[in-house]
Amino acid sequence: MYRRLLALSSFCGALAFGAPSALGADCPTNDTFSRGISLASAEFQADHIPGVYERDYVYPPSQNVDYYKSRGFDLIRLPFLWERLQRTLFGEFNPIELSRIKRFVSIAHDRCMRVILSPHNFGRYLIAGKGERVGSAQVPDEAFGDFWRKMAIAFKDDPAVFAFSLMNEPFDMGGTWKQSAQAGLNAVRGVDTERLVLAPGDQWSGAWSWRSFNDDFLLRDPSDRLIYEAHQYFDSDHSGTYRQSYDQSAAYPNLGVDLVKPFAEWLRIHKLRGTIAEFGVPNDDVRWLNVVDALLPWLARERIPWIYWAGGPRWGNYPLSAEPRGGNDAPVMRVLTKYPAGQPAIRATDPN
């Protein structure tokens, strides 16, 4: 979540690309995946725009991808910043930044892994040092649509791009997010009718509060290739900062299940597809790991796939990190590799 990202911000030549070859015969080619991981680092130092590459931010190296591939992950959620790719609203994409994203997608492609491209802007675009809200006069829906039209053009023929996620954790959107999200979706569909699109909800995309803030968040997709995206952390304020301990948070083993239920119920009522695209727990208390251990098989029964937050090269001692330390897997990896994800191709109400 945004507060978590702010708390952690201190951690943190153009290439030519032809049309990629199709994924290999043994690579996944449908709407399913086994396990997902967010590989963070390209969105770090969000107040440094555009920032200095390899100092303020980097894209994850191939070693990161290799590690998660070896642990059975076949999908990567790649956070990046809108302003680094499109330096001015309605402007052309920066060719060097675009090449970095394409290079990462190519690394994934070579390993039969697919990528969700996710602008981590929280419903904002930085103008003169201030984050202006999407849907405002400063960042109109037309600008948001222009960004997504250009993204769709840039990646239309890339089989390694599993989906576009419209916007990471929009918050306090003033009731306009549904209209803005529809504008982004329409822009993608004007170019690409096949790509999966993820639609994150307002107010940090919280699964626990989905019915309060996103009950009418029903978008129109003529391609029927839409997946709704929710996030969920288990600390007392659901921020993912875990400033309070397990006991102080009044946590219990089925807490994750109970927090995600409102989102799952909404999917079931409307016969829609959804994913939990962010969740994470500290590695230093086995009781938090037990929350994940209870949640993942429940998500599988609900046919809701998951993506863990987070891996990536610059986390240091970040307590939620899934990165190995000292040559050993993080404790959370034992739980994540115990269960596969659900299947986003199957609706929540499908009994099969």
Report d(CA 43, CA 57) in Å as an integer: 7
Report d(CA 334, CA 336) in Å as an integer: 6
Q: How many CB atoms lie within 10 A of CB 162?
A: 25
In contact, 21 and 158? CB cutoff 8 Å: no
Nearest to 134 by CA among 85, 81, 178: 178
Question: The tokens 């987070």 sit on which residue?
Answer: 310
The residues annotated with a catalytic role in the active site are: 169, 278
